[in-house]
Amino acid sequence: MLQSQNKDLTPGGGKWEAIDFSLCSPIPPHTPHAVSVSLPKWIDNVDYEEGNPRVTEKMKSGYPRFCVHESVKKLFESIVTKTGLQGYACFGFPSRRVANECIDFIRRQSPSAEPRLAEYNIKPKNEAIPPSTLVAVLVPQELYPLAKAFWQHTGEIITSRYAEYHLASDGLYTKPPRVSTRYSKNVAVETTRDSEPDSYLEDRYGRNLGIEWAGKAKLALRRRVAASLQDAAGLVDISNVYLYPTGMSAIYNAHRLALGILGNFKSVCFGFPYTDTLKILQKFGPGCHFLGSGEDEDLERLERILEQEPILALFCEFPSNPLLKSPALGRIRQLADKYGFLVVVDETIGGLINLNVLEVADIAVSSLTKIFSGDSNVMGGSLVISPKSSKLTILKQWLKANYEDLMWCEDAIFLERNSRSFEERVRRINGDAEALCDFLRSHPLVKQVHYPKFTTLGNFEQYQRPNTGYGGLFSLDFHQLDHAIAFYDNLPCAKGPSLGTNFTLACPYTLLAHYSELDWAANYGVSSSLVRVSVGLEGENWLIKAFSHALSCIINEIPDASL
């Protein structure tokens, strides 16, 4: 339990006194579908990465692509039992296409593997609820890491609400399915039970629509995303907006889309990205060129590559996570027009309303799990085709033939509810984060503040919308590792993976994302002492007091620390 000695350090006059930030508790607390988990001390993150049972045995939930939710595990274990394939591991996916791609991924790395499929269909009695599909990939236990890697990298997952819906459908497991080792021989077991979802804590105030409203919720989500990306020419048409179960799923499908329309060429990863974006480009298709600094020298390297070979697409973040760099999109667009490749921009950190990347990107992707939702209790992603793209027609034609709506109904309901206030929240966080970063930048114990206002500012402001800000994410670097540890351990806020939450959330980013490759990350300026912070709604005064407190603990706990 967080028990601050200083009432001024707790928002709302002691509001956090009762919030559980103990090891491995869900973030937010008491939330059955929380998408973060508390790792309150630096050593907790180290022990998690090293598989120490002190942490791993307590871990019941976490970020869903990395930590399989207990409800999802229960569903997978039930499938293994009913199929009789003891000694096998199971991962379930929301469509046969995704399951087949998982099998392709496994077989590319283990050619002798013989994964098996079992497919289930549920047809609810309530016709307003669309039928749902669960396709299970079953593999011997030794291949579990490969199936898990596909789940993590692609984000083509089933969510905890999806799993609970299937578990509640008693008829789903009345008999074991026939199991096949061939793609085309899967036999579906259908049920007609109309299952009602459990009553969640999030429902308690009656703010959620029933599941039968999911179609309209998705329409509202697409309209909301489109409206946030409007430019001087007006609104983006909602027909250009596509929803996905996670942000990584949107990135993965942007890569599928590029391969589908342009052919089997390498991509370019421009700048140091969030880890799984690079993994997608490296492990799916013919690979990629990694230009990790994302600055002018990499533009020169990019031109030399383009003179030698065609490329499929350039993927970048604007700004990047965790260094908050903004690449020179204008120059990238010029090269794309000259050489014919796609420009795919992940603008998650921009919060949809701060930036206008569709001026230069063919495709914009975003994780709606983050500030668009804010409540850290639901996953989602979006992919938007720019109306200005020269490849608009062929992009939309491919999506018309290949797009699958795999966002689970209940997730859409929660995401629609959460996102109603996202523009107001983004604007509030913009101002508070900027004030906090200004304060931290002047502090002698802080080596560097990575924030768009201080990092490649000219590139960022070229695509910044009027009367907006720099977003709520920043990273701190310290002069010594022990300074970073003391700061992190004493920071009185939620600490765990994810970002874009309505509450301030911190993590030792490099440990969680690159623990097995720390030296490699350091080569690109992502140091082991990096602390990434996502600013919430606590307010400027509280934030500065809280961070001042953590900085003062460096001086108190480390004898040679000096101002």
Instruction: Report which of 319, 324, 272 is spatially closest to residue 475, judged by C-alpha positions.
Output: 324
The number of CA neighbours under 13 Å toward the Cβ of 484 is: 25
Once rounded to an integer, what is the mean pLDDT over residues 119-135? 77
Model-level pTM? 0.91
Once rounded to an integer, what is the mean pLDDT over residues 203-218? 71
Q: What are phi and psi of 267, to 5 degrees?
A: -100, 175
Give Cβ neighbours of residue 144 (< 8 Å, ≥ 6 apart). 89
Give percent above pLDDT 70 in the chain.
Answer: 87
C-alpha span between 112 and 382 (Å, rounded) = 36
> In DSSP terms, which residues pair with 26 in a beta bridge?
37
Examine the pLDDT at 180 and tell me if it is beyond 50.
no
Rounded to 5°, angle at Cα 94 from 91 and 97? 95
| Sign of the Cα pseudo-torsion (28, 31, 34, 39, in order) | positive
Once rounded to an integer, what is the mean pLDDT over residues 540-550? 97
How many CB atoms within 10 Å of residue 344?
25
Tell which phi-psi region holds residue 176, choosing left (phi > 0), alpha (psi between -120 and 50) or beta: beta
Examine the pLDDT at 308 and tell me if it is beyond 80.
yes
Pick the residue with more confidence: 231 or 319?
A: 319
pLDDT in tens, 62-78: 899 999 999 999 999 99
* Tokens at 102, concatenated: 């998982």
Instruction: Report which of 537, 490, 488, 505 is spatially closest to residue 45, judged by C-alpha positions.
Output: 488
pLDDT in tens, 446-486: 999 999 999 999 999 999 999 999 999 999 999 999 999 99
DSSP state of 234: B
C-alpha span between 226 and 237 (Å, rounded) = 6
How many CB atoms within 10 Å of residue 107?
15
* Tokens at 237, concatenated: 């048409």
> In DSSP terms, which residues pair with 448 in a beta bridge?
477
Say what the pLDDT of residue 60 is.
82
Say what the pLDDT of residue 212 is.
79
C-alpha span between 11 and 507 (Å, rounded) = 20
C-alpha span between 412 and 369 (Å, rounded) = 11
Say what the pLDDT of residue 229 is.
84
Residue 194: which pLDDT band, with cuts at 50, 70 and 90? very low
- Is the Cβ–Cβ distance between 328 and 404 less than 8 Å? no
| Sign of the Cα pseudo-torsion (517, 521, 523, 527, in order) | negative
Q: Which three-class secondary structure state does DSSP give residue 343?
A: strand
Examine the pLDDT at 191 and tell me if it is beyond 60.
no
Average pLDDT of the chain to the nearest whole number? 88
Instruction: Report which of 21, 7, 4 is spatially closest to residue 503, judged by C-alpha positions.
Output: 21
Instruction: Report which of 180, 146, 199, 189 is spatially closest to residue 410, judged by C-alpha positions.
Output: 199
Residue 142: which pLDDT band, with cuts at 50, 70 and 90? very high
Instruction: Report which of 7, 149, 3, 157 is spatially closest to residue 542, judged by C-alpha positions.
Output: 7
Examine the pLDDT at 504 and tell me if it is beyond 70.
yes
Say what the pLDDT of residue 415 is.
97
Instruction: Report which of 307, 310, 302, 306 is spatially closest to residue 269, judged by C-alpha positions.
Output: 302
- Is the Cβ–Cβ distance between 386 and 233 less than 8 Å? no
Pick the residue with more confidence: 21 or 492?
A: 492
Say what the pLDDT of residue 121 is.
83
Once rounded to an integer, what is the mean pLDDT over residues 237-244? 96
Examine the pLDDT at 19 and tell me if it is beyond 80.
no
Examine the pLDDT at 405 and tell me if it is beyond 60.
yes
Say what the pLDDT of residue 61 is.
81
* Tokens at 397, concatenated: 């034609």
pLDDT in tens, 339-379: 999 999 999 999 999 999 999 999 999 999 999 999 999 99
The number of CA neighbours under 13 Å toward the Cβ of 272 is: 17
Residue 236: which pLDDT band, with cuts at 50, 70 and 90? confident
| DSSP output for 422-488 | HHHHHHHHHHHHHHHHHHHHT-TTEEEEE-TTTSSHHHHHHTBPTT----SEEEEEESSHHHHHHHH
Pick the residue with more confidence: 529 or 205?
A: 529
Say what the pLDDT of residue 234 is.
62
H/E stretch holding 331 reads helix 329-339
Say what the pLDDT of residue 5 is.
33
